[in-house]
Amino acid sequence: MTKDKPSPRQSLAVFPGSFDPITNGHLDIVERGLRVFDRVRTAILMNPEKKPLFSIDERVKLIRDTYADEPRVEIDTFSGLLVDYAEKVGATVILRGIRAISDFEFEFQMALMNRRLNPAIETVFMMPAESYSYVSSRLVKEIFQLGGRVSDLVPPVVERRLCEVFGTPIPPDSPSGPRGTP
Ligand code: ADP
């Protein structure tokens, strides 16, 4: 006689960050996260010390629009300790992207501190495709303001919003799908 297996709990990973705005580098990490975890929750840190380009509501909307067709990606905001937030929402994993060695030192320190604060929550690092390893929200904003094209660096909804914010015409060949797919 075989014993009924207990139904496994759905795994949830929290992917925290500023997402000002979300870039294809973030999307790459979310996609990789979805291969390992049942759900990935992008969680925007409400940090009053940072001067963002996009308000929290706008950042939430950009992520929501990007993942309108993907129910396994959730979107939320949080303040306070990340491990407290993760525990509150039932996540067992903090997902972070590592672009280069320069990210590593800070991320390593944060991961160890978070482990000390709550040993039940594991930090998992993922590497993006090489083509996104130099993409950051800050660079995207700088390039766009200097007149460079960012179509390959951000989802179409973000490019359109950048055009609106800076009063630039929307490129005619901008893809229509939420994540750059036709
Ligand atoms: P923060 O303000 O915490 O750096 P970000 O929004 O810049 O927040 O990044 C959130 C997470 O996404 C971090 O783990 C960061 O390393 C990761 N990330 C950002 N851009 C990329 C990228 N191009 N490739 C891989 N990971 C990335």
Cis-peptide into 172, omega within 30 deg: no
Mutational pocket test of ligand 1: of 136, 141, 142, 143, the residue with most ligand atoms within 8 Å of the beta carbon:
136
Does the pLDDT of residue 134 top 60, yes or no?
yes
Domain residue limits, the chain = 12-133
Supply the pLDDT for residue 181: 57
Give the pTM. Answer: 0.92
Residues near ligand 1 (Cβ within 6 A):
17-19, 23, 25-26, 28-29, 96-97, 99, 103, 128, 132, 135-137
35-83 residue pLDDT tens:
999 999 999 999 888 899 999 999 999 999 999 999 999 999 999 999 9
pLDDT band at 96 (very low <50, low <70, confident <90, very high): very high
Please report, as a single letter, which amino acid is at residue 83: V
Q: Using CA atoms, how far apart are residues 163 and 157, in angstroms rounded to an integer? A: 10
Which one is catalytic: 5, 50, 51, 116? 50
Q: Is 35 a catalytic residue?
A: no
What dotted CATH number matches 12-133? 3.40.50.620
Q: Using CA atoms, how far apart are residues 106 and 7, in angstroms rounded to an integer? A: 37
Which one is catalytic: 99, 141, 161, 179? 99
